[in-house]
Amino acid sequence: MTVEYASFLGCQIPLRLPSIEIASKKVFSKLGLKTVDLMGYSCCPEPVVSRLLDRTAWLATSARNLAIAEELNLNLMTLCNGCYETLVETNEILRNEPEELEKVNAILGQFGKQYNGGVEVKHVVEVLYEDVGIKKIKDSIVKPQEMRVALHYGCHMYRELNGRDIMRKPNMMKELARVTGVEIIDYGLERLCCGYPSMQADEEFSLTQRLLPKLRNIEGSGAEAVLLSCPACTLQFEMGQVRLRPYGCQYKFPCINIMEILALSFGFSPKELHLEMHRSPVMQFAQRMERS
Amino acid sequence: MIISEKDITEYLKQNLAEKLIEIDVPRERRIFARIRHSALRRAVELLKMRYDMLRFITLSVVDHGLDFEYLYHFHINGIVLTLRSLTPKETNTLESIADIIPAASFIEREAADLFGIKLINHPEPKALILTEDWPDDQRPLRKPLKGDLPPQARPIAEAFISKSCVAPISTFIQRRRETIGLPRSPPMAFTDEKALREFHGIMKATSFSEKAGFDWKKKQLRYK
């Protein structure tokens, strides 16, 4: 396989959920997908605070990351939904609004950088589904994961360019999950936000009006674990279950990332993947599944 | 001498040079000049030297949360000119112009009372409308030192501006990364001096750090 990407790890995966970084590298290696880490990158930048505070800074910071990939002559693959949205959206603006590109390049130019709009940004789910293909992934599966999971796609996963089907990437993720052998349980609130962005404004609202209804439905659906693709949502589910305890709610769902479930199904052990780095009982759950 | 908006703007441009940040004539007989706070007295001296008919109208003070904005309003032959300057609230001092323009004395004292500002070189730096023993932390028009970011967003903005990364970078997590076979840090800008300099350059060039209320010397937000 000759496809090569610059891998954009973002902030949360390497510093809070490094087991996803490990799983991703193992999955890419197993599938023969060549990736290089983007050197000297910064936060994408995160799509809530930075964009609201200063649009030009948001664009310029993102353009710097895109420019680093452009210097390598590589397209960019993100592992995080938030990074995906920021980088896709800013890329579209910079490609279609020459005056914005000029303004941003005037800033980047002060540091010897320039962005020419030559980078494609893809979510890892798109790369696996479109570039690698379900067949190749299926052929790599040696240990089907027989567990019942509730999928949480994450809001940014629905972001599409105008006119495109917003279910395009969620359906890809569903297909990727299904191929690992998991049973996908519908719980009716897949589209509801996990509450991560609203944690910055109102913690109680975020926990009780966003996360809690999801957890209640997931529990009622009979799912054993939550399967996610976004590290921010993963943190919200994991930390949120703890923060909901003062509200009298006791949830302990393991929150597994799509890359981790792929790695497990490729035969990597929970220990190799360091699933103990999670703040929910992913390791215990994966080991139990391994034994059964 | 015929005094026009153009005459005043050109005069200030020539004499204040880079100390004049922006000058705007939004309509006939109205001028707003945004100047560096350090140039305020110089600007007043320049105006007094050139325009005999210069008349002081009043001073307005605006508490923006992180900064005080001082607006000195003047009347020059039918034209109203406002000199605007901004200064961090931590500085908390205003160099008086009352020795140049005695009419500014009372309003500066009133502003000092209501906002808790310390006057420098004022000819009569006494309380005007509050009692002399009025507590410094209970000034009627002074807001708490606070920027636009809500409390939960502050650590994110602080980490983002200082380290290029919104997740906390602790020695603990770096050690854990090493123990699980990953490099100590991801290849982010904070690990590379040149890359971090570029990133900080963007933060400064776009005024992002200024809007967030970031103190570059202390490498933290000016408010908690």
Question: Residue A111 and residue B156: Cβ atoms within 8 Å?
Answer: no
How high is the mean pLDDT of chain A?
Answer: 95
Q: Which of B152, B189, B201 faces A201 most closely, judged by CB atoms? A: B152
b/e map of B142-151 (b: 16 or more CB within 10 Å)? beebbbebee
Chain A partners of B160 at a C-beta cutoff of 8 Å?
A: 43, 45-46, 49-50
B58 within 8 A of B107, measured Cβ to Cβ: yes
Confidence of residue A161 (pLDDT cuts 50, 70, 90): confident
Q: Which of residues 26-85 of B touch A (CB under 8 A)?
A: none
B202/A21 touch (CB, cutoff 8 Å), yes or no: no
- Residue A281 pLDDT level (bands cut at 50, 70, 90): very high
The verdict on a CB contact (< 8 Å) between A53 and B212 is yes
In B121-160, the residues whose Cβ lies within 8 Å of chain A are 148-150, 152-153, 156-157, 160
Nearest CA in chain A to B153: A200
Task: Say yes or no for a CB contact (<8 Å) between B208 and A54.
Answer: yes
Kindly report the nearest CA distance between residue A101 and chain B, in angstroms: 14
Please tell me which of A160-164, A230-234, A285-289, B152-156 the model is most confident about, judged by mean pLDDT: A230-234
B184 touches chain A (CB under 8 A): no
pLDDT digits (tens, 9 = 90+) for A88-118: 999 999 999 999 999 999 999 999 999 999 9
**B185–A39 C-beta distance less than 8 A:** no
A140-166 residues labelled b (16+ CB within 10 A) or e (exposed): bbeeebebebbbbbbbbbbbeeeeeee
Chain A, chain B: beta-carbon pairs less than 8 Å apart: 121
CA angle B37, B18, A104 (to 5 degrees): 105
A262-267 average pLDDT score: 98
SS3 B185: coil
Q: What is the pLDDT of residue A146?
A: 92
Amino acid A77: pLDDT: 98
- CA B110 to chain A, closest CA, distance in angstroms equals 34
B72 near B96, Cβ under 8 Å?
Answer: no
For A201-257, the pLDDT digits (tens) are 889 999 999 999 999 999 999 999 999 999 999 999 999 999 999 999 999 999 999
Q: Which of A17, A26, A41, A103 to mutate to test the interface with B (most CBs of B within 10 A)?
A: A41
Q: What would the mean pLDDT of A80-92 be, rounded to a whole number?
A: 96
d(CA A214, CA B45): 67
**pLDDT for position A39:** 95
Does B123 sit behind a cis peptide bond, omega within 30 degrees of 0 on the bond before it? no
Residue A94's contacts (CB-CB under 8 Å, 6 or more residues apart) are A59, A63, A66, A100, A101, A104, A115, A117
Beta-carbon separation of A41 and B188 below 8 A: yes
Q: Is the pLDDT of residue A2 over 60?
A: no
Q: Which residue of A has its CA nearest to B195?
A: A40
Q: How does B157-193 read in b/e, with b if 16+ C-beta sit within 10 Å?
A: bbbbbbbbbbbebeeebeebbeebebeebbbbbbbbe
Q: Which residues of chain B have pLDDT under 70?
A: none
pLDDT at A3: 59
Contact B202 A60 (CB under 8 A): yes
User: Can you tell me the ipTM of this complex?
Assistant: 0.91
pTM of the model: 0.88
- How close, in Å, is residue B206 to chain A by CA atoms? 5
b vs e for A241-279, b when ≥16 Cβ sit within 10 Å of the residue's Cβ? bebbeeeebebebbbbbbbbbbbbbbebebebbbbebbe
pLDDT surpassing 60 at residue A1: no
Q: Is the pLDDT of residue A47 over 80?
A: no
The partner residue sitting opposite B206, judged by closest CB among A40, A56, A201, is: A56
